[in-house]
Amino acid sequence: LVLCVTDREKKITEDLCGVPAKTLPTGIRVPEKIRGFEGRRYAFFTGCMKNIQNTDAVKYFYRQIIPLIVEKIPNFKFFAVGSYPPDSLRQIESKYMEITGYVPDTTIYAASSILSLVPLRIGAGLKHKVVEALAYGAPVVATSVAVEGMDLAPEEEFLLADSPKEFLEQIQRLYSGGELWGKISHGGHRRANLSYSMEVMERKLAGIF
């Protein structure tokens, strides 16, 4: 028996390998209550910076998206959170982007940031960074690659952006709060409870074994 983190990978495993497979996504402890817009600041991205998909995402965001954003949102700031950032990332820090390096608890950023920005262009599997943001009520703006296999509802549980222009537009829609911010925040939190909570994982494990 092979356990896969998404239904898509389950199907690929069964089709290509001819072995039984089950889906068991990443689980997370979902807080009962989440912070509203007041008291949140800035935007963030999390991921181990040893991984090329994460460094590529941060560089892409810095080079192609931040220049568009700061023309419209002068007080914008983005935190790239994760261990082992290479010198190539350290060298592009600016007043608009901070490279944090290792932090002991990334949920602090998920619980206190206005937005989770996930500009992944390459990658596979379920993205824990997205699950964590959903769980803590940080509205997610992400590429198709970032939410692959999650079946999230656009405009309800996250906002989709597959180009620099789309990222700018979606960030502008959310950065000042408002009704849409609350809708996406609560929609994402609800999805985390329904699909990725530890209680859901326990039931799925019991059903498998």
Instruction: Kindly write down the DSSP assignment for every residue of 80-141, as one continuous string.
Output: EE-S---HHHHTT-BTTEEEEE--S-THHHHHH-SEEEE--SS--S--HHHHHHHHTT--EE
- With H, G, I as helix, E, B as strand and everything else as coil, classify residue 79: strand
- Domain positions in the chain are 35-196
Q: What does the pLDDT read at residue 162? A: 98
Task: Give 154's DSSP letter.
Answer: B
Question: Which residues touch 74 (CB under 8 Å, ≥6 apart)?
Answer: none
Q: What does the pLDDT read at residue 207? A: 81
Q: What does the pLDDT read at residue 89? A: 97
Q: At what angle do helices 179-195 and 198-208 cross, to 10 degrees?
A: 30
pLDDT in tens, the chain (209 residues): 888 878 888 888 888 888 888 888 788 999 999 999 999 999 999 999 999 999 999 999 999 999 999 999 999 999 999 999 999 999 999 999 999 999 999 999 999 999 999 999 998 888 999 999 999 999 999 999 999 989 999 999 999 999 999 999 999 999 999 999 999 999 999 999 999 999 988 888 888 77
Report the CATH superfamily, name and number, of domain 35-196.
Glycogen Phosphorylase B; (3.40.50.2000)
Tokens for 94, please give them.
């600016």
Rg (CA), the chain: 17
Q: What does the pLDDT read at residue 191? A: 97
How many Cβ atoms from other residues are within 10 Å of residue 192's Cβ? 25
| Nearest of 162, 63, 165 to residue 121 by alpha carbon | 162
Distances (CA, A) of 157 to 124, 131, 145, 161, 178: 20, 11, 16, 13, 15
Phi, psi of 106, deg, nearest 5: -75, -15
pTM, full prediction? 0.90
Q: What does the pLDDT read at residue 14? A: 87
In whole angstroms, give the CA distance from residue 54 to residue 142: 13
